[in-house]
Each structure stands twice: as C-alpha cells, then as structure tokens.
Structure 1
Amino acid sequence: MQIHVLGAGAGGGFPQWNCNCPNCDGLRKGTIKAKRRTQSSICVSGDGINWVLFNTSPDILQQIQEFPPLQPARAIRDSGIVGIVLIDAQIDHTTGLLMLREGQVKREIWCTDMVYQDLTTGNPLLNILGHYCGVNHHPIAVDGQTTFEIPGAANLRFTAVALKSAAPPYSPHRNDPHPGDTIGVLIEDTKTGKKCWYSPGLGEIEPHLPPLLEQADCIMVDGTFWTNTEMIDMGLMTKTARSIGHLPQSGEGGMMEALSPYKKARKVLIHINNTNPILREDSAERAELERHGIEVAYDGMDIVL
C-alpha cells in the first residue's frame, strides 16, 4: 500500500492567508524552521497506478500538479483518481470537488448518508456538480463491520466507523449530531495484509476505536492543536479544541497518551492547524512528539506499507 500526503494542514493551510500568529508570520519572513502546508488530503494506492483520494481540499489542483500519478497519462482526458472518499462535509475537505468538475465522466464519491445530505442541502456542492461532470454516490456504512471496495482500486478494502463530532455550520442538523457526520477509515491492503487507520478529525478515543487501532500498521490521526486551549490563549476563538471535535496532543488524555499503547504502528499526525507549535521543526513540542515516536505529516510525505 502506498500512501501519499497531498496536504497536511488544517483549514486555511499554513501559513493561513489572514493570520499573523507567530507561526504564520515567522514562515512568511523565513525566521522559523518550518514547511508550508496545503489543506489536508491523502491518496492511497494498492498498485501505484490507481489512486483513491481521501477528501478534496480547496488546494486540490495544486496538489495534483505536484503529484504526477494523479495527472492524466492514459488518454487525452483522464486521471489516476478512481474514487473519492469523503471523511466529512467540512469546507476544507470538500470544496475541491468544484475544481474537479470538468469532463464527461461522473465523479465516483463514497460518503455517508449524513455527508451526502449536507452536500445536497446546506452546502449543495454535489447538486452543482450535477450540472457539470455529475456524481455517482456510494453510501458508506459506519458500523465498523461492513467493508467496501472501490472498482479500479486494486488490493484495497475499506472499513468505516462513526466518530463523535459536530456537523458543519451549514448542516441542517448542526445542533443535532448524527452517526456519520465524521468517520474514521481502516484501509487494508488485501495482498500484503497491511493496514492504515485514517482519521483527520478525532475528538476522543471512543470505546469502539481501540480494536481498529490495534490492527493498524500506520495510524494517521488528527494533529490540529497542541493544547486544548490553544485558540483561546491566542485570542482567536472562545472554544476549546475538544469542544470543536479535536483531541489535542498534550495534556491528560491527549493524543500522545492515547497513542502510547500502539507500539507496532507508525504514528503520524495530519490536519495541523497553523497555530500549532509542532509545525516548528526545532520546537520543544516537536521534540516531545519525537520522544513519543510520533511524526508530523508534511505535503509530499510518502508512506509505504
């Protein structure tokens, strides 16, 4: 299984266009040791030719231009993307669908019924695509038992589970969470038996997750915030990380502690907010992650299982 990180940043990327926090200001001025990051997305392949795209960020065109396997190579118009899996209906994970509107071949999209509802009502991106390339929607079950495969994605099998989270602000059920608003996915290479767990939005380790995490050879999870009060402390928000569905890395019950039981897995953080000090490659926070055996994803990172 090949996993390619197209984008490792949270919404807005890094640096964020309107942010003058120490990280963003430092990166623009070249005074900190850090890499630019586009908004989070990965693609996965079992044969190195046909790829499944997880989420479509607003930066998708740049991401495709920087990764040749997704580019046209077999016909006058085509792509290495054989299917798209949406983890949620958030803007930073779905807006890129509008950038993939060209062509006569319908986009093959796998998502939960809740995500499909949000993207045909509150933010009707899929309806808009119907006026261009069109969409084939494939529902995803979230019971942790039902697997699915994507035609053309050789040797790959997927299992999804619901994660506790809030729907996007534009969702008709914003204040009434439903299973399937956000999912985590176990990706399996049926040829080698290797598995990757992917959940860029993870608010807590719920009881049904450890059995899935224990199977994983790579755990790629939410790296949004370092502390629970990061945005409050900077005067940027009045809500905690946990209250908006992100498990911070530090503190009691944080991501470092939560990942400690999974010794065999390669552990990688993705969806990293521009304010997070782990973006600084020489920071004390990055060093602490490394002591816990946890990596920080970056655009262009490749993982082979």
Structure 2
Amino acid sequence: MHIHVLGAGAGGGFPQWNCNCFNCDGLRKGTIKATKRTQSSICVSGDGVNWVLFNASPDVLQQIQDFAPLQPGRAVRDTGIQAIVLIDAQIDHTTGLFMLREGKVKREIYCTDMVYGDLTSGNQILNILGHYCGVNHHNVPIDGKTSFTIPNVPNLKFTAVALKSAAPPYSPHRNDPHPGDTIGVLIEEISSGKKCWYSPGLGEIEPHLPELMNQADCIMVDGTFWTDTEMLDLGLMTKTARSIGHNPQFGKGGMIEELDKFGDVRKVLIHINNTNPILREDSAERAVLNEHKIEVAYDGMDIIL
C-alpha cells in the first residue's frame, strides 16, 4: 500500500496567508528551519495506478501538480483519482471539490449521511458540483465493523468509525453533534494485510477506537496543536484545542501520551496548525516527538506498507 501525503497543514496551510505568528513570519523571512505545507489531504493506492483521495483541500490543484500519479496519463481527459473519501465537511477538507468540476465523469464521493447533508444544505458544494461533472454519493458505514471497497480501486478496503467532534460552523446542527460528523478510517491492503489508521481530526481516543487502531501498522492522526491553550495564549482564538475537536500533543491525556500506548508501530502527525512549534525542525517540541518516535508529516511524504 502506497500512502502519499498531499498536504500536511491544517486550515490555512503554512504559512497562513494572514498570519504573522512566529512560525509564519519566520518561514517567510527564512529565519526558522521549517518547510511550507498545504492543507491536509492524502491519497492511497493498492496498485500505484488507481488512487483514493482523502479530502479535497483548497490546495488540491497544486497537490495534483506535485504528484504525477494523479495527473492525466491514459486519455485526453483523465486522472488517477478514482474516488474521494471525505473525513468531515470542514472547509479545508472539501472546498477543493470546486476545483475538480471539469469533465463529464461523475465524481465518486464517499462520505457519511451527516457530511452529505451538510454539503447539500449548509454549504451546498455537492449541489453545485452536480451542475458540472455530477456526483455519485456513496454512504460510508460508521459502525467500525462494516468494511467497504471502491470499484476501480483494487486491493484496498476501508473500515470507518464515528469520532466525537463538532460539525462545521455552517452546519444546521453546529451545536448539536451527530455520529458521522467526523470519521476515522482503517485502510487495509487486502493482499498483504497491512493497515493504516487515518484520523486528521481527533478530539480524543474514545473507548471504541483502540480495537481498530491496534490493528494498524501506521497510525496517522491529528497533529493540529501542541497545547490545549495554544490559540488562547497567542490571542488568536477564544476556545481551547479540545473544545473544537483536536487533542493537543502535550500534557496529560495528550496525543503523545496516547500514542505511546500503541507500541512499536509507525506514528505520524498530520493536519498541523501554522502556530504549532513542531513545525520548526530544531524546536524543543520536535525533539520531544523524536524521543517518542512520532513523526511530523510533510507535503510529499511517502509511506509504503
């Protein structure tokens, strides 16, 4: 199984267009050791030819340009992308669908009923896309037991589970969370049995998750914030990391402590906010992650299982 990180940043990417925090300012001026990141997305293949795109970030066109296997190769109008799985309905994971409107082949969209509802009501991306290429919606089961496969994507199967989280600000049920607003997915290569757990939005390791995560050879999870009060401390937000659905890395019950429980498997943080000090490769915070054998995803990162 080939997992390619198209984008490793959180909403806004790194540097964020309107941010002058230490990280963003330092990256622009070249005064910190860091690399830019586009907004969070991965693609996965079991044969190196047919790919599943996980989320469609606002940077999707640049991400496709940077990864040849997704580009046209077999016909005048073509792509290696056979389907798109949406983890949630957040702006930074769905706006790129607008950029994939060209052509006459309907986009195969896999998402939960809750996400489909948000993207046809509060933010009508899928309705608008229907006026261009068209959409085939496939409901994703979220019981953590029912696996599904995707036509034209050989050798892969997927098992999704609901995660505790908040719906997007535009959602009709923003303040009334429902199962399926956000999911985590166990991706399995059928021939080898190798598995990757993917959850770029993860507020906590809920009791029903270890059963799936313990199966994984690679765990790729939410790396948005270093501390729970990161945005508060910088004066950029009035809410904590956990209150908006992201478990921070540092502190009691944080992602470092939780990931240590999964033993000697590959562990990778993705969806990293521009304010997070782990973006600085020589930071003390990055050194802590290195001690715990936790990697920080970057654009262009390849994981072969």
Sort the TM-score into its range (normalised by shorter chain): over 0.9
d(CA) in 2 for partners of 1:11, 1:199: 15
Q: 1:135: which partner in 2?
A: 135
Q: 2:89: which partner in 1?
A: 89
Deviation at 1:263, TM superposition (A): 1.5
d(CA) in 2 for partners of 1:237, 1:108: 36
Q: 2:282: which partner in 1?
A: 282
d(CA) in 2 for partners of 1:301, 1:264: 20
Q: 1:243: which partner in 2?
A: 243
d(CA) in 2 for partners of 1:238, 1:192: 46
Helix, strand or coil for the counterpart of 2:262? coil
Deviation at 1:261, TM superposition (A): 1.4
Q: Match of 1:228, as an amino acid?
A: D
Whether 2:45 is the aligned partner of 1:45: answer yes
Q: 2:255: which partner in 1?
A: 255
1:289-300 equivalence runs, <5 A: 289-300=289-300
Cα distance per residue 1:82-139 (max 9 Å; x no partner): 0100000000000000000000000000000000000000000000011100000000
Q: Match of 2:164, as an amino acid?
A: K
Deviation at 1:144, TM superposition (A): 0.3
Q: 1:109: which partner in 2?
A: 109
d(CA) in 2 for partners of 1:187, 1:264: 19
d(CA) in 2 for partners of 1:159, 1:264: 22
Q: 1:185: which partner in 2?
A: 185
Q: Match of 1:138, as an amino acid?
A: H
d(CA) in 1 for partners of 2:130, 2:65: 25
Q: 2:210: which partner in 1?
A: 210
1:139-158 equivalence runs, <5 A: 139-158=139-158
Q: Match of 2:267, as an amino acid?
A: K
**What TM-score comes out, normalization by structure 1 length?**
1.00
d(CA) in 1 for partners of 2:278, 2:228: 14
How many residues of Structure 1 are paired with residues of Structure 2 in the alignment?
305
Structure 1: stretches of 5+ with no match in the other structure: none
Whether 2:27 is the aligned partner of 1:27: answer yes
Cα distance per residue 1:53-100 (max 9 Å; x no partner): 000000000000000000000000010000100000000000000000
1:3-14 equivalence runs, <5 A: 3-14=3-14
Q: Match of 2:69, as an amino acid?
A: P
**What TM-score comes out, normalization by structure 2 length?**
1.00
Helix, strand or coil for the counterpart of 2:261? coil
Deviation at 1:152, TM superposition (A): 1.0
Deviation at 1:227, TM superposition (A): 0.2
Helix, strand or coil for the counterpart of 1:260? helix
Helix, strand or coil for the counterpart of 1:231? helix
d(CA) in 2 for partners of 1:71, 1:37: 20
Q: 1:166: which partner in 2?
A: 166
Structure 2: stretches of 5+ with no match in the other structure: none
Q: 1:61: which partner in 2?
A: 61
d(CA) in 1 for partners of 2:303, 2:263: 17
Deviation at 1:264, TM superposition (A): 3.0
Give percent identity, aligned residues only.
Answer: 81
Deviation at 1:262, TM superposition (A): 1.1
Q: Match of 1:169, as an amino acid?
A: P
Helix, strand or coil for the counterpart of 1:267? strand
Cα distance per residue 1:179-222 (max 9 Å; x no partner): 00000000000000000000000000100001111100000000
d(CA) in 1 for partners of 2:147, 2:53: 17
Cα distance per residue 1:252-301 (max 9 Å; x no partner): 00000000011131000000000000000000000000100100000000
Helix, strand or coil for the counterpart of 1:193? coil
Q: Match of 1:162, as an amino acid?
A: A
Deviation at 1:247, TM superposition (A): 0.2
Q: Which runs of 4+ in 1 moved over 6 A?
A: none
Q: 2:175: which partner in 1?
A: 175
Cα distance per residue 1:5-31 (max 9 Å; x no partner): 000000000000000000000000000
Q: Match of 2:74, as an amino acid?
A: R
Helix, strand or coil for the counterpart of 1:4? strand
